[in-house]
Structure 1
Amino acid sequence: MIFPSSSLIIAVYNRSEALELIFLSLINQTVLPNEIIIADDGSGENIKKIIDNFRDKLPIPIIHVWQEDNRNQKPRILNKGIAQSNCDYIIQIDGDIIMNKHFIEDHLTFCKKGYYLFGSRVNIQKSILESINKFKTMHFNFFSKGIKRRSRTIRIPFLMKFSKKVDKRSSKLRGCNLSFWKKDFISVNGYNENLVEAWKEDSELIERMHNNGIKGIRLKFAGIAYHLYHKSQNNPQLEINLKIERETIEKKLKFTDKGINQYL
């Protein structure tokens, strides 16, 4: 099968142990992306050390896009990172995701012009986090201890033949397991930097994509991702971001005035 050229975008902020696990899961991939872009929202030197350590262990370029730590500016660093992409297709994860070995393969196998893909995540609980970091655990299954949403560990890609197209944004959509065509992303001007901190950036983006005629496909029994436990973050800007998202929905907005075009 011939795949489109692809960039794996990893949104990170510190958590060097988690990034090491991501790189280890990358080494195990059945299909590699053409490049890796680390979208770094102001991490310290530990993240750079992890990146440098893996440059010789992976046969693809690693691009480190860094911005100064000024509270949470995830939409901005994602725009900056994707602006650096040299590929046609973007696969996006967060810096706390361990990928199943078929993760990249699944996203590329089921990508389709005019659509984005979104997958689920298996939650790894706090009780086994220390063990995972110590033993560099990469592989999980339905019977693994310390995980939630066990049914999401099951991979049966054949069943994707029966996957329904999504005309409206799904409540199950998460930016930690998402892929789309770069040209579709640019056509709506990418992430909305009017959003304050990191909340609703993925759903607001996808609303604009739907308004622009792009539809979704849910990766079910494919594109398996494991989400490492972390404390929930309070977002004092909740109402601001909700208001922006509501306006996008009600006015059927297709474009944001403050997006990726600043970096192209």
Structure 2
Amino acid sequence: MDNCTPSISVIVSTYNSEEWLEKVLWGFHQQSYRDFEVVIADDGSGPRTKDLIGSMADTVFYKILHVWQEDEGFQKSKILNKALKACRAEYVIMTDGDCIPRKDFVEVHQFNKAAGHFISGGYFMLPMNISQLITKEDIEEQNCFNIKWLEAQGIAKKFKSAKLTAKGHVSKFLNSWTPTNASWNGHNSSGWKADILKINGFDERMQYGGQDRELGERLVNSGIKPIQLRYSAICVHLDHKRGYKTEASIHKNKFIRKEVKKTRSSWTDYGLIKK
């Protein structure tokens, strides 16, 4: 696969979170669909992350590209744009370094991709104790997607467990029934690279708080339609602190999204191509 272009590029964002990133990379090593590369969008991590990626690259079947930038605070939009440019495939899945993909994750995105559309996937949130508990063997055996195993570890029973248990017609029904809008989610979405380039990628003014959804809103404004797969394309979300979450960034991002909605714009002057 090193010498040929993969059919899918998976962008995984990370920042100084080696323990979680390792679990995510093992998750991609279990995938049923294997014609993909992983592009690490690294927002300024230290040498431990580089060492982990080097070690994993020698072990997993897929090619890993490491795209890094200096640590200047939370600048995820900037590193995602850099990673996007590095992607070799025409179709791109975006997820985070705290989301372990189920073994059919890439396959579901690949099977459902369609011209003029993007895919909005789902996640199942895990508490910190279970996030830490998950081993490489649990990922290989897919225990972390088994609701019985999770309940044995103490997770509460709730309706959202349907994300892990729904299959076939049931998952299709739930995808169409859910009242949740199909938005571009940083943890689990995919689309055509050309469509994302056409709207100039992520708005680099935006820090934490809806910068991924803003991209999806501009995709919709450009005529791209979302496909809801939150009960079919599944990852488990590992718990972590959010020290980068600030009122200022959330307020600024809300203002930018309000303008996008008001003007129905699809282009940003602050993306891949600068004014």
TM-score of the two chains, using structure 2 as the length reference: 0.86
Corresponding letter in the other structure for 2:234: I
Deviation of 1:105 (Å): 0.4
Q: Which one is further off, 49-58 or 84-93?
A: 49-58
Q: Which residue of 2 aligns with 1:82?
A: 84
Q: Any conservation in 1 of the 2:42–2:67 contact (CA below 8 Å)?
A: yes
Contact 2:121 2:231 in 1 (8 A): no
Given the alignment, which residue of 242, 254, 264 partners 1:242? 254
Partner of 2:233: 223
Give deviations 1:79-120, integer Å, cap 9, x for gaps. Answer: 000101111100010110011000000110111111000111
Q: What is the identity, as a one-letter code, of the residue corresponding to 2:220?
A: H
Give 1:199 deviation, angstroms. 1.8
* Alignment correspondent of 1:256: 268
Unaligned 5+ segments in structure 2 are: 1-5
Q: Which residue of 2 aligns with 1:141?
A: 146
Alpha-carbon distance, 1:50 to partner: 1.2
List alignment gaps of at least 5 residues for structure 1.
Answer: none
Compute the RMSD of aligned alpha carbons. Answer: 2.2
Structure 2 vs 1, CA of residues 99 and 159 (structure 1 numbering), >3 Å: closer, same or farther?
same
Q: CA deviation at 1:160?
A: 6.2
Residues 165 and 43 of structure 1: is their aligned pair in 2 closer, same or farther, counting only changes over 3 Å? same
Query: Match for 2:221: what amino acid?
Result: N
- Matched to 1:215, the amino acid is K
Residues 165-217 of structure 1: CA distance to partner in whole angstroms, max 9, x if unpaired?
99xx927652100100001101101100121x222111111111111000100
Alpha carbons 1:7, 1:85 under 8 Å: kept = yes
Distance 2:48 2:137 in 1: 17
Distance 1:261 1:61, change over 3 A: farther
Structure with the bigger percentage of helix: 2
| Identity percentage of aligned residues | 33
Q: Hey, what's the Cα distance between the residues in 2 that align with 1:181 and 1:113? A: 8
Residue 106 (structure 1) aligns with? 108
1:192 aligns with 2:203: yes
Match status 1:202 vs 2:202: no
> What is the CA-CA distance between 1:33 and the residue it aligns to?
4.1
Query: CA distance change for structure 1 residues 42 and 154 in 2, over 3 Å: closer, same or farther?
Result: same
